[in-house]
A and B are shown apart, each in its own frame.
Chain A
Amino acid sequence: MKTDKAGLSIRTKSNLTGWSFILIAVVMIATFYFYPMAQALILSFKTGTGSNLTFTGWDNYIRLLSDKTFLTALTNTFIYLIVQVPIMIILALFISVLLNDSKLKFRGFFRTAIFLPCVTSLVAYSVVFKYLFAADGLVNSLLMSLSIIGEPIQWITHPFWAKITIIIAITWRWTGYNMIFYLSALQNIDSSIYEAARIDGASSFKQFTKITIPMLKPIILFTSITSTIGTLQLFDEVMNITKGGPGNATLSISQYIYNLSFKYTADFGYAATVSYSIVVIIVLLSILQFKVAGDKK
């Protein structure tokens, strides 16, 4: 085996150099992700205010099961998830298929325009939406002048409409983002496949369900997982549009954790317990989504 002056083999030396390249990143991720993750787990078995915490075993988890506010936040989050994610993904797919037509005029304009919402910060667009959807806001006056509605909708202050407002807002912000992924995947599909299908007499709808959807499946899976994780962490929008209200009608799990830690008397232990519920849900949903996507192959 060849060795250098220090007596290390070239293989070992190259291996060590490799470790030195990744060292900072590994330390940073361990310090700011895995270590706090373990801390949160320990914390979830403690109770107390501020930093006076004592071990109380499963108390927090038992409390979680009968916590009505948690149940509300969980339900809200799932409503957002079940309603918003499919709407957004279908909309993004539909738009990207329309945009994929090479004969379409103003393609660049449409693409840029629909993608544009992604450059706004979540806080900035939330505040804009809060005013657009105010009782005396522009959306209501527009709908009234078009005679679609007779009187203003209480978008922000009615439990049902407040949820709808949040859903509309998230859809506005993220549809273009998902569209870009589909568009790039569509451009990688060989157009001769579509030509062959057309010659065989397949309708546009058939082409969409039999070629486009199966070809895009990995990307659809990717976007649905990232959207699911994003929705489960929803915070900026509810905080800035509705503050979780009216009542707790729009409260998300993340905002509930924030409230438990920084708004009410700080209960870090219980907040950590609630936060682990998101971890568990994300893991379960990701496994489920992989399963669903895998089985249909």
Chain B
Amino acid sequence: MRKLKRVFTYVFLGGAAFISIFPFLWMVVSATNKSVDVTRGRLLPGSHLFENFRKLADSTDLWTSLWNSAQIAVLTTILAIVIASLAGYGFEIFRSRLKDIVFNILLLSMMIPFAALMIPLYRMFADISSSAPAIGIDTIASVMLPTITTAFLIFFFRQNSKMFPKDMVEAGRIDGLSELGIFFKIFMPTMKTTYAAAGIITFMSSWNNYLWPLIVLQSPERKTIPLLISNLGSGYAPDYGLIMLAIVIATLPTALVFFLMQKHFVAGMMGSVK
């Protein structure tokens, strides 16, 4: 009976692991094959990787999209963690009844679905376009602005700030540091792990964001990588090898971040329910 259970456990987990990994393997293998071989269901690596790559780079805005996505994801991540950690720290260190109320109101925003926001947001940026073209429709700023600050990230930093020793704030004040000085020189370095986790989560969601960029980005030279892939995938005569390669390239940064910082990533997700 015991043994049977053991066997079942391994077979079940093995099956689940296989199903989870298989689409990745297939996508990597297909990126090296000709389109016809992909449709024929070839599961062995082929020799068309470079040709697929050349075609992809020649026929699409691959580099532009990658560059747009990279700029948006990096800038969003930096701004997001600075703004959210300032707020999380502020809410935890300088407590008052009114601030607690404000905090709870901010948390309510987590319940608002994006679908309810996208039309007013679109109109807002469309209105701004004529007076401030730099942050209007079809700009990187318009993609970033609504996604930079989330109540979740503020909540995440506030939860983690609870573990930050308050004595250090006092010590900093006695040493004559300003409040911002304490934040940048003491809090930030001590909370490196928290920042790493928050950074990974923000980077991933920004890199993978689809619906909002789909709405605000209009010209081809502004497209981000998910938009490029979505476009490639909707064609009538799709070149499967080429599309699979594009998907592999788009997945690489987040997969890399995941493998390099697995522990922080998992810790970050857990931090959200602690």
Interface residues of A (CB under 8 A from B): 14-15, 17-22, 24-26, 28-29, 32-37, 39-40, 43, 51, 95, 98-99, 101, 104, 109-110, 112-132, 136-138, 141, 172, 176-177, 180-181, 184-185, 204, 218-219, 222, 229, 232-233, 235-236, 239-240, 243, 253-254, 257-258, 261-262, 268, 271-272, 275-276, 278-279, 282-283, 286
Complex Cα spacing A112 to B95, Å = 39
Interface class of chain B by DSSP: helix
Contact residues in A for B119 (Cβ distance below 8 Å): 40, 43, 257, 261, 268, 271-272, 275
Instruction: State whether B24 touches A116 (Cβ < 8 A).
Output: yes
If the complex has contacts A21-B86, A124-B250, A172-B23, are A141 and B41 also in contact, measured as CB distance less than 8 A? yes
Q: Determine whether the beta carbon of B9 is less than 8 Å from that of A32.
A: no
Whether A233 and B113, one on each chain, are in contact in the complex, defined by CB atoms closer than 8 angstroms, is yes
- Whether B20 and A114, one on each chain, are in contact in the complex, defined by CB atoms closer than 8 angstroms, is yes
Q: Does B44 count as interface, using CB distance less than 8 angstroms?
A: no
| 11 contacts across the A-B interface (CB closer than 8 A) | A22-B87, A26-B106, A28-B149, A39-B123, A98-B12, A110-B13, A110-B16, A113-B20, A235-B211, A257-B115, A261-B122
Contacts between the two chains (Cβ within 8 Å), count: 245
Task: Contact check, B20 vs A36: say whether CB atoms are below 8 A apart.
Answer: no
Q: Which of B89, B116, B225 has the most CB of A within 10 A?
A: B116
Measured CA separation A130–B83 after assembly (Å): 38
User: Please, how many angstroms separate the alpha-carbon atoms of A243 and B9 in the complex?
Assistant: 38
Q: Does B229 contact A (CB under 8 A)?
A: yes
Given A113-B20, A124-B229, A254-B115, A25–B99 Cβ distance below 8 Å? no
Bound-state CA distance A122–B273 (Å) is 23
Q: What separation, in Å, do the CA atoms of A46 and B171 have in the docked complex?
A: 57
Q: Is the interface of A mostly helix, strand, loop or mixed?
A: helix
A263 to B243, CA, bound (A): 25
Known contacts A37-B116, A117-B20, A172-B20, A32 near B121 by CB under 8 Å: yes
B164 at the interface (CB under 8 A from A): no
In angstroms, Cα B102 to Cα A60, docked, is 33
In the complex, residue of chain A having the shortest beta-carbon distance to the beta carbon of B153? A25
Residues of B within 8 A of A (CB): 5, 9, 12-14, 16-17, 19-21, 23-24, 26-27, 38-39, 41, 83-84, 86-87, 89-91, 93-96, 99, 102, 106, 109, 111-124, 145-146, 148-149, 151, 154, 179, 183, 204, 207-208, 210-211, 215, 225-226, 229-230, 232-234, 240, 243-244, 247, 250-251, 254-255, 257-258, 262, 266, 269-270, 273
Known: A114-B16, A119-B254, A258-B211. A253 touches B115 (CB 8 A): yes
Residues in A neighbouring B215, C-beta threshold 8 A: 258, 262
Task: From known contacts A26-B87, A121-B226, infer whether A98 and B9 are also in contact, taking CB-CB under 8 Å.
Answer: yes
Known: A36-B117, A278-B115. 7 other contacts (CB 8 A): A18-B95, A25-B149, A141-B41, A180-B269, A232-B113, A268-B119, A286-B111
Name the distance in Å between A82's Cβ and chain B's nearest Cβ.
Answer: 19
Nearest CB of A to B131, in Å: 16
Residue of A nearest to B256 (CB): A119
Chain A nearest CB from B268 CB (Å) reads: 10
Closest to A266 in B: B119
Given the known inter-chain contacts A17-B94, A127-B243, A180-B269, please indicate yes or no for A25 contacting B86, CB distance below 8 A. Answer: yes
